[in-house]
Chain A
Amino acid sequence: MTDLSRLTLALPFLLASLSAGASGSKILATGGATSIAGAAGGGIVPWAVINGYGSSGQWSVTGYFSQVGVDDFTLNSKGIGFSYDNRYEVSVGRQQLQLDTMGGELNQQIIGLKYKVAGELLYSKLPQISVGVQLKKQLDFAIPSAVGARDPHGTDLYLAASKVWLDAFWGRNLLLNATVRATKGHQTGLLGFGTAGHDDYQYLGEFSAVVLLNPQWAVGAEFKQKPNELAFAREDHWRDVFVAWFANKHLSLVAGHVDLGSIATFNNQTGYYLALESTWSF
């Protein structure tokens, strides 16, 4: 919590120093938030949206920090993302899973690439469709290896479709996202990839629904299907509900409640999700 407290303290100064410039052309909130793996999206699901507010011909830089705190674990995620032309997205992120009850920590590095294939989130009948890849590297492989993971490296591939329905109901805008992910990762790779007996990709569905209450505030829910391959412990699907506040095109905050189910024999892992993001577009 210390990192986050420091950031929260710095917030008023950050806000005060933000200029009206370098804000990009995209409409507020259409860059989404940043997921724990670094891709623009919700909290746990990468969306087809491209990070930041850079529209055609514009660049964007996004920095993020998030924390998930559940009964026996804390996950800190931080990183930086770049986008160009509202089409190409690159992110470099680092995750630190603190084993609060067991002691110790597991770190993972993630390099993400995303490319918008078709559609425009707000403007086309077709949803915006993107493909992405996440190159993951488990940096503390002793524990994952001991519990049956085969590989410290893994590459996830995903196809995401996102669309905003303007004036969907009650005069509010609705965003729906569906993502299909191919992965070998246990607990998103934090517990390594593959097993001795099974090294095939699994295809998993991830979904988000968000209601934009007004241009600055949104509420949403997400579901992330998970594999269940490691013999030593059950792995559950993940769920969350969240509130997002887009202060302006430079700053957004997300607060949520997560249900991560069973992690490494620790059952009923529920708790909070907090994320802070700052973005600059040119």
Chain B
Amino acid sequence: MVVLIRVFLLFALVGCSTAPEPEDWLYQQLGAAEGLEKITDGLLREIEHDPQIVHHFQDTDIARFRKLLIEQLCELSGGPCKYSGASMQESHTGFQITQADFDNLVGHLIKVMTEQQVAVSAQNRLLAKLAPMYQDVVYR
């Protein structure tokens, strides 16, 4: 336990001594505009092949969904965009999205980011921003 605490303190010190992170750090880590398009397209491909969740998208305008998802990821990651879609709660109400559906989507996102060689730290940063949306998306 003492060792663990020392490691934490060391990490804290390292954190303090480095330059402040740019606001668009995550956006750049995800590959900026081009990277976000690749991640989104990868995610759409995974959804298309996932019988657990693909049925939720049967009435979805995919081109519009793609544009909004890129916008949202861009804004969330500190990029130069403004998300123009509905709130997470509004856009998911009535779909009866389950925890398993949500888990699958998170799994697909991790897989696609790993394929795009996004660093683990950047993956975790994005997941930390997306995870709180669970309560607005699931069982609505």
- A interface, CB within 8 angstroms of B: 25-28, 55-58, 86, 120, 122-125, 166-167, 169-173, 209, 213-215, 221, 223, 239, 241
Contact of B99 among A55, A167, A170 (CB under 8 A): A55
Chain B residues with CB under 8 Å of A25's CB are 52, 99-101, 103-104, 107
Q: Is the CB of B110 within 8 A of A223?
A: no
Contacts A/B (CB < 8 Å), 28 sampled = A25-B100, A25-B107, A27-B106, A27-B107, A27-B110, A55-B100, A55-B104, A56-B98, A86-B99, A122-B134, A123-B131, A123-B134, A123-B135, A124-B135, A166-B131, A167-B121, A167-B124, A170-B14, A170-B15, A171-B121, A171-B122, A171-B125, A172-B120, A172-B121, A172-B124, A173-B124, A209-B4, A221-B1
Q: Is the CB of B1 within 8 A of A167?
A: no
Nearest A residue (CB) for B125 = A167
Chain B residues with CB under 8 Å of A173's CB are 124
B8 at the interface (CB under 8 A from A): yes
B119 at the interface (CB under 8 A from A): yes
A218 → chain B closest CB, angstroms: 12
A1 → chain B closest CB, angstroms: 28
B12 at the interface (CB under 8 A from A): yes
Nearest A residue (CB) for B106 = A27
Q: Is the CB of A57 within 8 A of B98?
A: yes
A53 → chain B closest CB, angstroms: 9
- B interface, CB within 8 angstroms of A: 1, 3-4, 8, 11-12, 14-15, 52, 98-104, 106-107, 110, 114, 119-122, 124-125, 127-128, 131-132, 134-135
For the complex, give the distance between the alpha carbons of A14 and B99 in Å. Answer: 30
For the complex, give the distance between the alpha carbons of A28 and B100 in Å. Answer: 13
B105 → chain A closest CB, angstroms: 10
Chain B residues with CB under 8 Å of A123's CB are 102, 131-132, 134-135
For the complex, give the distance between the alpha carbons of A167 and B4 in Å. Answer: 17
With A124-B134, A223-B1: A166-B99 Cβ-Cβ less than 8 Å:
no
B80 → chain A closest CB, angstroms: 22
Q: A124-B135, A171-B125, A221-B1 are in contact. List 13 more A-B contacts (CB 8 A).
A: A25-B100, A27-B107, A55-B99, A56-B100, A58-B100, A122-B106, A123-B135, A167-B124, A169-B12, A171-B122, A213-B120, A215-B110, A215-B120
Chain A residues with CB under 8 Å of B99's CB are 25, 55-56, 86, 120
